[in-house]
Structure 1
Amino acid sequence: MATRRIQRELADLSNTPSDQFTAGPASDNDLLIWEAKLTGPATSAYAGGVFSVNLTFSSDYPSNHQRHVKFNTKIYHPNVDEDGSICIGVLKPDVWKPSNKIVDILHSLILILEEPNADDAINTSVAEVMNNPAGGKEKFEKTVKEWIKKYC
């Protein structure tokens, strides 16, 4: 079931390309492991960055909520930890529905680039910087730009 569903989703993504991301299988011989490239939204602190993300799906996708989504590109973000693991709503077991699609995950990733959420942080040190009333937003955005130059 996973292979047919993923093939349909891949075809849908190919037929409706996005200027915010590209995504597909990382190799020709395994449909369950994908690589995506996300373009930092122009109106966000991540503008100018292109971020690589791995998506790994279980053999019973989409029924099983077990998906592994991880940034390969180092990113300074409250919802991404130091090893690239991501904290977003659509991936949480109590939120995931079999009707969700890969494109929903990709749109959620773009959304966290547009609107980092310090209140649902996995990287608390970044969240603390963001929430600091004494110039935290400016320091956060400056560090994001430095990391884009260094890692993207």
Structure 2
Amino acid sequence: MSSSTTRGSSRSNTTESLSNSTTENAPPSSKTATKKKDSSKSLSSSAKRIQKELAEISLDPPSNCSAGPKGDNLYDWVSTIAGPAGSPYAGGIFFLDVHFPQEYPFKPPKVVFRTRIYHCNINSQGAICLDILKDNWSPALTISKVLLSICSLLTDANPHDPLVGSIAQQYLNDREEHDRTAKEWTKRYAC
């Protein structure tokens, strides 16, 4: 073995032992930095997922719906839903706020109506009673599918799981009066 080969291999061994001792004896602050990097990976994956959904919804928006970030914050969106034809909400444009949690898509987005609406599954604060926004959420769902489900709720309310019991009773017992009031609210608040 030549002396240059021996010197080269001893240098690489020295370099390896230095790098190993550096990581083993790293101060707690650098270990914390490693943990911070790991938590930013989940943030990064949620941001990537939201960016992907934004690209998809921009290219192929769901029927009667639009959505996108409010400003520079990728986690806060505004959405609009046009009242479906044939429903008491036809002709109205309804604004919704969408907030994606940092754990998205493993936790559902929070969606709230900003436009007042007369509906048994949507209360006066804009909260929506929809199973996929709670217990039936799946990471396979997207914001496009959520908006389509909300749009479907405007066509077919679920009075058996209401947020507003009095409107649900009216929906079941006096549909004509319910629809008249819903149309009035749509003209007043959503047109």
Q: Is TM > 0.5 for Structure 1 vs Structure 2?
A: yes
SS at match of 1:113: helix
Give the TM-score of the pair, scaled to structure 2. 0.74
* Rg larger in structure: 2
Give the TM-score of the pair, scaled to structure 1. 0.92
Structure 1 unaligned segments of length 5 or more: list them. none
1:75 aligns with 2:75: no
Displacement of 1:19 after TM fit? 4.0
CA–CA distance in 2 between the matches of 1:150 and 1:22? 22
Q: Given residue 15 of structure 1, which amino acid in structure 2 is its aligned partner?
A: L
CA–CA distance in 1 between the matches of 2:141 and 2:64? 19
* Count of paired positions: 146
Displacement of 1:17 after TM fit? 2.7
Superimposed CA distance per residue, residues 50-98 of structure 1 (whole angstroms, 9 cap, x where no aligned partner): 1001110101200123x31100000000000111100012111x31111
1:50 aligns with 2:113: no
Q: Which residue of 2 aligns with 1:146?
A: 184
Q: Which residue of 1 aligns with 2:131?
A: 89
SS at match of 2:74: strand
SS at match of 2:61: coil
1:20 aligns with 2:64: yes
Structure 1 runs (4+) deviating above 4 angstroms are: none
Q: Given residue 148 of structure 1, which amino acid in structure 2 is its aligned partner?
A: T
Q: Which residue of 1 aligns with 2:53?
A: 9
Q: Given residue 137 of structure 1, which amino acid in structure 2 is its aligned partner?
A: R
Higher strand share: 1
Give the fraction of aligned pairs with identical amino acids, expressed as a percent. Answer: 38
